[in-house]
């Protein structure tokens, strides 16, 4: 697709966003180049845009890909600003469902032998419809009731075109340098692309659900539906049907009689068990993706967007959280420098002081008076001051922490997330970084090294040439010493020079003979 086509598509989207006032913040923002500020004003003319921007509505008007992109941008208040990010955090991709006739055709194409070979019935009206897929209640021939998720018709083509245009725009923004280069818009789009690829293959979502079930196994009040693998394909996902009250339905939640404070604490512990304990966490934990069942458990659904942290990142995360909880800001600063998050030319003491300005206001206060979103915004301001590059593996984590805070407060306004988190983080650090863990890690590392020694020895032996089977050579008298006027080593260019001299002499002799 040519650049002008990308520009045309993006201009149309910008006009739709402007119609909802979404470009107003960019008209006066000092960091936005003057030509871009002028363009934002021109795109708004004649739209009747409201004074208060509705960024979520603007992106919904642009279609499914823009909705998903908005969810990515909600993790980046440093890129779009805290007010825009706050508006985008409320963005959920609830859309009108696709007609049953088209969904039925998709099911027949996705399932071998057509859907009637596997199901006795499928409800034509979906229980939920999003930008990428929609979910129908279905019953198999052997009586299993499942939540059947199917991709919307034409969704792959729509996202492919949008991804190409977004990548084209991000590359041009990054070339402007300055903050645009530091904030890595191409990386944002690449993160978006990875999310999309994962969600467009429902087999990967099934794998996510199975792995997440293992991650939360130790939290009895949190569950994950079972995957029906025999009914799962690239375009369909079959999960155990869950009856219960959605957190988006306050009346149903109240009627369930659930122990809301206990559920709020369980949600926080389950998130920590995922992110810190296993390094694999549900990254879309809004109220619509959590069901309270009759037995008083939180059941998580929709596993398209997941996050991963390697062990080193999990250790740093646990130590950072513990440092903020107990007020050890110098240790938190040292962790940032050890992890390479802060360039080494900065002063750790100055960084610790900046962290103190963010952390001290939250200590000793209840969660209703503490906003994780505001805390993260303060940390983002520090990243700018200390030239910290964006850490891709932390983007989803930051977004999810804000979501978990919102859900926990909706369940129990008095929950103190820091009090709930502190015992878990403290115990995890003790188990993973204590002397026993240090000794165990050393034993494992040494055992792995010893196990690899035979293979290493074999590779070493293969590099040694075998002994020759030829008989030893007879002794020779010592060579005469080389005269001093003969160079010890004839340069590689000498043979060519000698041949050139001989050829020149031959030509001279022939010329003399012809002259005589």
* Residues tagged active-site: 284
CA distance 244 to 252: 8
Among candidate residues 268, 296, 315, the one with its CA nearest the CA of residue 423: 268
Residues in the chain: 516
- Using alpha carbons, list the distances in angstroms from residue 325 to 61, 290, 322, 433: 42, 28, 5, 18
On whether the CB atoms of residues 150 and 138 are closer than 8 A, the answer is no
Residue labelled with tokens 């903020």: 324
For the chain, the helix, strand and coil percentages under 3-state DSSP, each to the nearest 5? 60, 10, 30
Helix (H, G, I), strand (E, B) or coil at 137: strand
In angstroms and rounded to an integer, the radius of gyration of the C-alpha atoms of the chain is: 33
Strand 298-300 to 290-292 pairing: antiparallel
Q: Which two tokens stand for residue 87?
A: 């508006």
Among candidate residues 298, 400, 32, 244, the one with its CA nearest the CA of residue 41: 32
With residue 307 as reference, give the H or E element that holds it: strand 306-308
CA distance 351 to 358: 11
On whether the CB atoms of residues 221 and 296 are closer than 8 A, the answer is yes
Residues 229-259 as b or e (16 or more Cβ within 10 Å = b)? eebbbebbbbbbebebbbbbbeeebeebebe
Among candidate residues 175, 120, 126, the one with its CA nearest the CA of residue 149: 126
Q: What burial class does residue 287 get, using C-beta atoms within 10 Å of its C-beta: 0-12 exposed, 13-18 middle, 19+ buried?
A: middle
CB atoms within 10 A of CB 508: 10
CA-based angle 383:387:390, to the nearest 5?
A: 60
Q: List CB contacts of 344: < 8 A, sequence separation 6 or more.
A: 337
Q: List CB contacts of 358: < 8 A, sequence separation 6 or more.
A: 375, 378, 379, 382
CB atoms within 10 A of CB 485: 5
Among candidate residues 297, 289, 263, 78, the one with its CA nearest the CA of residue 184: 78
Among candidate residues 409, 424, 394, 455, the one with its CA nearest the CA of residue 318: 424
* Residue 128, strand partner residues: 135
């Amino acid at each position: 697709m040519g650049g002008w086509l990308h520009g045309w598509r993006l201009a149309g989207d910008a006009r739709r966003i402007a119609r909802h006032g979404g470009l107003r913040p960019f008209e006066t923002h000092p960091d936005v180049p003057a030509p871009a500020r002028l363009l934002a004003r021109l795109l708004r003319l004649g739209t009747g845009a409201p004074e208060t921007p509705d960024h979520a509505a603007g992106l919904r008007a642009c279609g499914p890909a823009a909705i998903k992109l908005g969810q990515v941008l909600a993790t980046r208040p440093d890129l779009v600003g805290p007010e825009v990010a706050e508006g985008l955090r409320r963005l959920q991709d609830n859309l009108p469902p696709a007609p049953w006739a088209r969904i039925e055709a998709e099911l027949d194409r996705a399932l071998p032998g057509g859907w009637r070979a596997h199901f006795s019935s499928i409800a034509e009206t979906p229980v939920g419809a999003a930008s990428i897929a929609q979910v129908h209640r279905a019953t198999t021939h052997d009586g299993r009731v499942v939540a059947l998720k199917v991709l919307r018709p034409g969704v792959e083509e729509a996202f492919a075109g949008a991804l190409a245009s977004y990548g084209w725009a991000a590359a041009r923004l990054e070339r402007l340098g300055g903050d645009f280069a530091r904030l890595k818009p191409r990386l944002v789009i690449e993160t978006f692309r990875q999310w999309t690829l994962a969600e467009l293959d429902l087999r990967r979502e099934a794998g996510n659900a199975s792995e997440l079930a293992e991650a939360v196994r130790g939290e009895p009040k949190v569950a994950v539906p079972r995957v029906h693998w025999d009914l799962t394909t690239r375009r369909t996902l079959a999960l155990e049907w869950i009856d219960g009250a959605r957190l988006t339905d306050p009346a149903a939640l109240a009627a369930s009689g659930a122990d809301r404070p206990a559920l709020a604490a369980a949600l926080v512990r389950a998130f920590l068990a995922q992110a810190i304990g296993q390094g694999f966490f549900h990254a879309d934990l809004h109220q619509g993706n959590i069901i309270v069942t009759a037995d008083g458990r939180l059941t998580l659904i929709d596993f398209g967007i997941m996050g991963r942290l390697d062990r080193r990142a999990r250790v740093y995360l646990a130590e950072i959280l513990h440092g903020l909880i107990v007020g050890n800001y110098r240790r938190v600063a040292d962790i940032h420098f050890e992890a390479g998050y802060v360039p080494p030319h900065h002063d750790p003491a100055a960084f610790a002081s900046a962290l103190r300005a963010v952390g001290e206001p939250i200590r000793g206060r209840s969660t209703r008076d503490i906003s994780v979103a505001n805390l993260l915004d303060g940390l983002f301001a520090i990243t700018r001051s200390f030239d910290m590059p964006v850490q891709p593996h932390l983007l989803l984590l930051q977004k999810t922490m804000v979501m978990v805070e919102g859900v926990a407060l909706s369940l129990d306004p008095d929950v103190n997330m820091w009090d709930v988190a502190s015992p878990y983080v403290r115990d995890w650090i003790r188990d993973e970084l204590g002397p026993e863990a240090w000794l165990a890690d050393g034993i494992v590392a040494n055992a792995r090294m010893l196990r690899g020694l035979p293979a290493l020895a074999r590779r070493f032996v293969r590099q040694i040439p075998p002994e020759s089977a030829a008989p030893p050579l007879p002794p020779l008298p010592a060579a005469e010493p080389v005269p001093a006027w003969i160079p010890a080593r004839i340069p590689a260019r000498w043979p060519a020079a000698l041949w050139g001299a001989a050829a020149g002499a031959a030509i001279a002799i022939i010329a003399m003979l012809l002259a005589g």
